[in-house]
Amino acid sequence: MNVYDGLRIAAMLEHNGFEQTNDVTDADIILLNTCAVRAKATDKVYSALGRIRRAKKPNAIYGIVGCVARESGADAFRKIKDLNFVLGPQSYHKLPEILNDPDTKLLDINLGGLEKFDELPPITKSPYVAYIPVQEGCNHCCTYCIVPYTRGPEISRSFNDIMAETMHSANVGAIEICFLGQNVNGYRYTDKNGKTYCLADIIRETAKIDSVKRIRFTSSYPTEMTDDLIDMFKSEPKLLPFLNMPIQSGSNKILEKMHRQYNIDEYMQIIDKFKTARPDIQISSDFIVGFPGESNDDFEQTCDIAKRIGYINSYSFKYSPRPHTAAAIMQQQIPENVKSERLIKLDSILNERQREFNLSCVDKTFDCLYEGVDKTGTKYIYRTPYMQPCIVTTNTPTPLAKICITSANKSCLHGKIID
């Protein structure tokens, strides 16, 4: 979601006559697009602002957008006196106002819902992967999560708006569409004739666009998986066989304290439905270790479920107390060193399975999408249908390629283009 916001902000500034620079000392406007999900990300914002302040040209304006802006509000101006703007995740379309009057302080952290989508200028060129938000905010009240506060209640965009943006992105270069939402599979929109659309309808319609070859979505809430959506994995080959479905914990007791509305048995049943619909599907997850009250036994249950499900790729985090959340004031907060130990142990299980899956891909052939140049600047990176990065040598990279995997390690695959 932040990638999407970042691209739209960049496009909006280009529309206003700016161009991108990688050199802070040369920039006329500098902004940090921020995330508030964990405290570490928030802390980094203020140290980065200090560095920018020292390095920037005296007249350059600077500020923050996104969830830390929403969380800090006017406090950000008290912390950094000459900051020029603080714009929340639903008000960054107002940024041009500061260009007209750089001497004002621009503060807007309102939850404007979907207004930004109407105000932003359309992009003129899309990367091969276009992110299309289908909703803003979230109605699930996970007790650890700041998102309902920073991005507000869940509001779904109209089906027509989503399809217009999808079509436009395809027309200006997108080959893969990734639909976005905090609770993407909870998408529901009822039009003025009373017809209700869900995510499966968006996927079905998008699959009709010839130049779109791959479709995916993130991130999903397990109990919002409808049979209609699961069936799409059987009937729609453009939908990639890869799904992020965060479990967070393997302990029913902790899931309840997190206010996740499923237990482990229910989660497993949903996975089984996916495997029946699409036998080659692979799942990724998010985990939180060290949630308040997590005992050794609860944590062991998380390790067990990670092994049992065999996620091919996961994000794992130490629990981070966040303002405006119920878990931050719960008893039995877990000491930092215990969280760290648990994270290392869980990561070793997740990494081993990731390595194993990557190795199982050797000698197989996949349709892959071009992403960019590798670190050395001499090879090219593609993405497999399971989102693994795959490195190839070629003279002329094509947007889509059939690649045979020749070797693999935990972090990436190597392959050769055969078509």
Question: Residue numbers of the site for ligand SAH (CB under 6 A)?
Answer: 37-38, 138, 144-145, 147, 182, 219, 246, 248, 286, 288, 317, 319-320, 322
Choose between 34 and 320: whose C-beta lies nearer to ligand SAH: 320
Minimum CB distance to ligand SAH smaller for 92 or for 319? 319
* 271, two tokens: 């996975």
Give me the least distance between CB of 293 and ligand SAH, in Å please: 14
> d(Cα 242, Cα 282) in Å, to the nearest integer?
5
For 199, the token pair is 């995510």
> In the complex with ligand SAH, which residue's Cβ is closer, 49 or 346?
346
Residue (223 or 394) nearer to ligand SAH, CB: 223
* Spatial contact of 43 and 321, defined as CB atoms under 8 Å apart: no
* Max intra-chain CA distance, the chain: 61
Place of tokens 């916001």: 5
Is-contact 123 7, C-beta < 8 A? yes
DSSP string, 160-207: HHHHHHHHHHHHTT-SEEEEE-TTGGG-EEE-TTS-EEEHHHHHHHHH
In one-letter notation, the amino acid at residue 1 is M
Q: How far is the CB of 390 from ligand SAH (least distance, A)?
A: 25
Residues 285, 314 contacting (CB under 8 angstroms) = yes
Indicate the residue among 169 and 248 with the shorter CB distance to ligand SAH.
248
CB of 220 to ligand SAH, least distance (A): 7
Q: Which is nearer to ligand SAH, 311 or 319 (CB)?
A: 319
Which residue number places its CB atom closest to ligand SAH? 286
CA–CA dist 157, 186 (Å, integer): 12
Q: Is the distance from CB of 85 to CB of 61 less than 8 angstroms?
A: yes
Residue 63 or 246 with smaller CB distance to ligand SAH? 246
Smallest distance from ligand SAH to CB 316, Å: 8
Q: Please, what is the minimum distance in Å from the beta carbon of residue 194 to ligand SAH? A: 29
| Least gap, CB of 289 to ligand SAH (angstroms) | 9
CA angle 175, 180, 186 (to 5 degrees): 130
Nearest distance in Å: CB 145, ligand SAH: 5
Q: Are 182 and 146 in contact (CB under 8 A)?
A: no
CB of 327 to ligand SAH, least distance (A): 7
Comparison of 301 and 320: residue with beta carbon closer to ligand SAH: 320
Q: Measuring CA to CA, how many Å separate 395 from each of 88, 378, 380? A: 44, 10, 10
Candidates 88, 94, 95; CA nearest to 66 is 88
Nearer to ligand SAH, 94 or 157 (CB): 157
CB of 118 to ligand SAH, least distance (A): 24
- Tokens in use for 201? 């309808």
Candidates 114, 68, 65; CA nearest to 92 is: 65
Residue 246: is it exposed, middle or buried by C-beta count within 10 angstroms (0-12/13-18/19+)?
buried
Tokens of 124: 């003129």
Would you give the distance in Å from CA 93 to the centre of its chain? 20
Give dist(CA 80, CA 63) in Å, integer. Answer: 10
289: left (phi over 0), alpha (psi -120 to 50) or beta: beta
Amino acid at 259: H
Of 33 and 182, the one with the shorter C-beta distance to ligand SAH is: 182
- In whole angstroms, the minimum distance from the beta carbon of 407 to ligand SAH comes to 31
Question: In terms of CB distance, is 123 or 145 closer to ligand SAH?
Answer: 145
In the complex, the smallest distance separating the C-beta of residue 51 from ligand SAH, rounded to whole angstroms, is 25
